[in-house]
């Protein structure tokens, strides 16, 4: 069940893959959904507003945040790559977003962090939110920064944040690794809804995954969020095995949880 918990909810990264998947679903969580991205993506529909903004532009971010009650923050560079674009969108962008949230009294944020914060743990290990970050690149580092920054804004200003370390959120798992990391769009929406509605969120780290039989992540420290995954990658297992070859255990992409990200680069700006 989705509770309409907020008057005006801001969704950043609305033009992206997850933004498009969540646009209709999140309308049930609020009276008005404000959609933002750096790139144009069409007209506002009923009960929607569109405000384009570059996350690196403090004034634009301030205007984007003014008047909203809560934020689902998906915007930014979403893959490994050169440092400077990541610095602008994911690091400076997070600072701009939380400064605007502080100034305008926003009390709760759901931050799309990533499994790449801990991508250098091995696929044979089970980790929880207390394991130290082991980012697998500049992208994972930027998400680790976002988690730390949001913790500071909670400790200092009381802004609650759920750092959702999303695994792989696509219509279906694309390879054998994603049988462990897959998060369905419906489960992602359930997870965000839980983060928006749980009475006390505090600063929480939660791995974003469906109810997959194979898992590397233990969410027992996030029971207070109240998320129960209802989908599972298991229904895709046979098809994924049929179209993929047996893993090469000497390949770092198979050894580490971050998959191919762990061997991306080096990049020059
Ligand atoms: P995406 O790349 O499709 O969407 C990201 C959006 O952010 C794009 O529409 C892009 O235009 C926008 N953006 C980039 N730079 C910006 C800037 N400077 N200012 C404003 N907007 C900017 O990525 P996707 O898959 O939709 O992911 C959404 C979020 O979830 C990202 O933060 C990503 O890191 C995170 N995530 C996604 C996962 C997945 O499996 N899809 C897994 C882990 C994390
Ligand atoms: C991510 O953080 C990316 O945003 C997404 O595109 C996928 O690559 C995902 O991680 C993953 O690890 O599968």
Distance 258 CA to ligand 2 centre (A): 8
CATH code: domain of residue 160: 3.40.50.720
Residues noted as catalytic: 139
Q: Is residue 230 part of a domain?
A: yes
Name the β-bridge partners of 181. Answer: none
Q: Rounded CA gap, 220 and 230, in Å?
A: 17
Ligand 2: atom nearest CA of 116 is 2
Ligand at minimal distance from the CA of 90 is 1
Q: Rounded CA gap, 13 and 166, in Å?
A: 15
pTM for the whole structure: 0.99
Give alpha helix (H) positions in 114-184: 138-157, 178-181
Q: Is residue 118 part of a domain?
A: yes
- The pLDDT value recorded for residue 268 is 83
159 in helix, strand or coil? coil
59 in helix, strand or coil? helix
- State whether the beta carbon of 115 lies less than 6 angstroms from ligand 2: yes
Q: Is residue 194 part of a domain?
A: yes
Q: Is residue 269 part of a domain?
A: no
Q: Which two tokens stand for residue 192?
A: 């965000």
- The candidate with the shortest Cα–Cα distance to 74, out of 189, 219, 222, is 189
Full pLDDT tens readout for the chain, 269 residues: 788 999 999 999 999 999 999 999 999 999 999 999 999 999 999 999 999 999 999 999 999 999 999 999 999 999 999 999 999 999 999 999 999 999 999 999 999 999 999 999 999 999 999 999 999 999 999 999 999 999 999 999 999 999 999 999 999 999 999 999 999 999 999 999 999 999 999 999 999 999 999 999 999 999 999 999 999 999 999 999 999 999 999 999 999 999 999 999 999 87
- State whether the beta carbon of 12 lies less than 6 angstroms from ligand 2: no
Query: Into how many domains does the chain fold?
Result: 1
Q: Is residue 268 part of a domain?
A: no
Domain of residue 74: give its range: 6-263
Helices then strands, each counted (H, E), the chain: 9, 9
């Amino acid at each position: 069940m989705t509770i309409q918990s907020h008057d005006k909810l801001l969704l950043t990264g609305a033009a992206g893959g997850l933004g498009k998947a969540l646009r209709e679903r999140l309308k049930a969580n609020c009276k008005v959904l404000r959609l933002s991205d750096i790139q144009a993506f069409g007209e506002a529909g009923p009960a929607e507003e569109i405000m384009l903004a570059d996350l690196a532009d403090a004034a634009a971010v301030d205007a984007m945040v003014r008047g909203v009650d809560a934020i689902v923050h998906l915007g930014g560079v979403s893959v490994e790559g050169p440092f400077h674009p990541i610095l602008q969108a994911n690091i400076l962008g997070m600072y701009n977003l939380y400064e605007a949230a502080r100034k305008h009294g926003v009390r709760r944020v759901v931050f799309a962090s990533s499994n790449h914060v801990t991508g250098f743990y091995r696929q044979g290990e089970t980790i929880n939110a207390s394991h130290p970050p082991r980012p697998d690149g500049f992208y994972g580092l930027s998400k680790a920064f976002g988690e730390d920054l949001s913790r500071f804004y909670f400790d200092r200003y009381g802004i609650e944040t759920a750092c959702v370390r999303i695994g792989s959120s696509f219509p279906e798992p694309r390879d054998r690794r994603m049988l462990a990391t897959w998060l369905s769009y419906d489960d992602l929406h359930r997870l965000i809804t839980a983060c928006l509605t749980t009475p006390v969120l505090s600063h929480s780290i939660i791995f974003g995954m469906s109810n997959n039989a194979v898992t590397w992540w233990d969410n027992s420290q996030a029971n207070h969020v109240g998320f129960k995954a209802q989908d599972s990658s298991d229904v895709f297992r046979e098809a994924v095995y049929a179209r993929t070859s047996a893993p090469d255990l000497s390949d770092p992409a198979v050894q580490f949880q971050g998959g191919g990200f762990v061997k991306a680069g080096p990049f020059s700006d």
